[in-house]
Every structure is written in structure tokens, then in C-alpha cells.
Structure 1
Amino acid sequence: MLGLFKKHNKIPRNELLNEFMDNAKASNSPAQAIEIVRLASAFSLPVCEGLAQRVMTDFAISQEQKEALGHLTASASDSDSDSSSDSDGDINEGK
């Protein structure tokens, strides 16, 4: 299901991501929860960091999975700063 969003380049709502996270918790599936964070990161969604924190508190995950989550949230916040600096540059160039 999550792959369909990425395949069709559709951005899921925060509520839907939280429902997916609830489902991952109910099925005790940290892999599914990490995939949800990966999807949020791919779209540079602000909810990504909150989802990653939720994975760390709701699931017993390995050190490797913790590092992967750290990279996902770092890349999402890097994308945010990159996009804002790019748009600032576009505004300044137009003046």
C-alpha cells in the first residue's frame, strides 16, 4: 500500500501516516513502521521526525535500525533547508 503513494507520486496525509503507524504497532512490525518513516522522508514531510520518534518509543529496534531512522530524519531536514535556500535564491535572482 505504501509503495503506491511513491509509485504514483501522491503525498499521504499525516492522519493516514499515523493510521499506518497504528497498524504497524498493532501488528508489532517495526519494519513496516520504518517503511512509513522512509515514505515520509522521501516526500520531505515535516511529520517524518515525529514518526521516527514514535518508532523508537513504540518498538524494540536494533542499533542498525536506529541509525537508519537517524539518516532518514537527517535527510528530510536537509531537504527542507535545501528547498528553502533554493527558493530564497530564486526570489533574489528575480529582483
Structure 2
Amino acid sequence: MSAQDKKPPVFASEAEERAWWEVHDSADHVDWSKAERVRMPALKPSSASISLRLPVALLERIKIAANKRDMPYQSLIKAWLAEKADTAPEKAEQG
């Protein structure tokens, strides 16, 4: 039986589909030899808007630092948070 003959089921939800694919091999259902590379330049990662209160002096220092790097201050804040999150030790690992 070829991959084309073995279609995946119709799913009621994304969660149901995710659970199904976690235990099934896509090679049994998709002919990957016919796959084509695609570009999605308009695809952006999802984000959430938050409100964050900062002391005015701190915000001004961040804006100056961002200006020196020629980048928006919100992008600099995101970069710093991502960097810190990636290097922060996990509490569970500490003991």
C-alpha cells in the first residue's frame, strides 16, 4: 500500500491531530519524494502583548542602549529577556 492510499483520518481538533501524529509515522501517509520546498516570508511567530511598568529612568537607559545598537528598544528588551531565559538555571536542577 502506498502513502497515497493510506490517508490520515479527519481530526476534530488540532490537539487530536497532534496526539495522533505523535504516535504515527508521516512516511506511512505522505509521499515525501514529491515534497517541494516552500517559502512563507509573511509567516511571523505568534506573540502576546503585555503591559510592563518600568521606572522612567530605567526605560530611558534602555532606549539609549537600543539607540546605540540601532534597534527599537522593545526589540532590545525582547533580545535581553530571551538571552537571560536561555542562560538562567532551572530551579529544579538546583536542588
What TM-score results when the alignment is normalised by the length of structure 1? Answer: 0.25
Q: Considering Cα pairs closer than 8 Å and 6+ residues apart, tell me whether 1 or 2 has the greater RCO.
A: 1
**Structure number with larger C-alpha Rg:** 2
